[in-house]
Amino acid sequence: MRSVALACLEDMKAEETVEIDLAGKTSIADAMIITSGRSQRHVGSIADKVIQELKSRGFGNPRVEGLPACDWVLIDAGDLLVHIFRPEVRHFYNLEKIWGADRPADRLAG
């Protein structure tokens, strides 16, 4: 599931993608991916691509929040959470700091 989501993000030119391993930190999911789109339209397009790929690959219907505004879209696929932000909104909420993604081992090239 993570590799499908990450491939979509790369295909859609998402920026500053970070993956955070949540195993042992919380029971809400095993992993979290945080990424940015350049505009509301870009955020929406990235989210649509991830949702469609997860569905077509048999990962079920993920729950989605934030699609109408596209400032911050959350895709909850059970074991995987994907957050797609506009850069200003991402900076404001700073989820990476909350979940400890500032550790070098948790960073992905982005």
Percent of the chain with pLDDT over 90: 78
Q: Residues near 94 by Cβ (< 8 Å), separated by ≥ 6?
A: none
pLDDT at 99: 77
Q: Is residue 57 within 8 Å of residue 31, measured between CB atoms? A: no
The residues facing 35 across adjacent strands are 84
pLDDT at 109: 47
Question: Which pTM does this prediction carry?
Answer: 0.87
Separation between Cα atoms, residue 55 and residue 53, nearest integer Å? 5
* CATH superfamily entry for domain 1-99: Beta Polymerase, domain 2 (3.30.460.10)
Mean pLDDT of the chain: 90
Q: Is residue 55 within 8 Å of residue 104, measured between CB atoms? A: no
Map out the domains of the chain as residue ranges.
Answer: 1-99
Residue 70, CA distances (Å) to 31, 79, 108 in order? 22, 23, 23
Range of 23-27, 48-52, 94-98 with top mean pLDDT = 48-52
Per residue in 30-46, pLDDT (tens digit) is 999 999 999 999 999 99
- The DSSP element (H or E) to which 65 belongs, if any, is strand 63-65
